[in-house]
């Protein structure tokens, strides 16, 4: 029974997230073929991936805490929880670096992008 709770919780959260995201941000108009801006497309895509990465990282942070708390003094389980925590934080760092990289590249090219 315990092994079923976490997958069901994760699947239910994954199924609800798109509905919450669409409620918070109304759908954008798709630009016509004559006025497609690569930077707008890139920032929109990056923002979407950034939001997904932050949500997944938050889920993994909670899971790492759960692993650490339920370790019960077992060193292997505690190390597994800490490793999950470190990997989730590395994921957040990579997402932040990706967002900063777009800004640096766009500034270098000459058209700075604002998020």
33-87 pLDDT, tens digit each: 556 677 777 778 888 888 888 899 889 999 998 998 998 888 898 999 999 999 9
Answer yes or no: is 2 within a domain. no
pLDDT above 90 as % of the chain: 14
Q: How many domains does the chain have?
A: 1
Answer yes or no: is 105 within a domain. yes
pLDDT of residue 12: 66
For the chain, the average pLDDT equals 77
Residue 47 domain boundaries: 37-109
Answer yes or no: is 67 within a domain. yes
- Where does the chain have alpha helices with state H? 2-24, 38-69, 75-109
10: nearest Cα among 55, 70, 73: 55
Answer yes or no: is 114 within a domain. no
78: nearest Cα among 89, 66, 68: 68
Q: Which residue has the tokens 């925590």?
A: 85
């Amino acid at each position: 029974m315990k092994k079923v709770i976490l997958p069901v919780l994760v699947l239910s959260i994954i199924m609800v997230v798109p509905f919450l995201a669409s409620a918070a941000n109304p759908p954008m108009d798709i630009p016509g073929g004559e006025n497609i801006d690569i930077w707008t497309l890139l920032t929109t895509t990056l923002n979407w991936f950034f939001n997904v990465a932050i949500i997944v990282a938050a889920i993994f942070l909670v899971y790492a805490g759960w692993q650490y708390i339920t370790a019960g003094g077992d060193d292997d389980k505690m190390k597994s929880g800490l490793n999950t925590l470190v990997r989730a934080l590395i994921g957040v760092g990579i997402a932040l670096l990706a967002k900063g990289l777009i800004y640096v590249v766009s500034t270098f090219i000459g058209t700075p992008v604002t998020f």
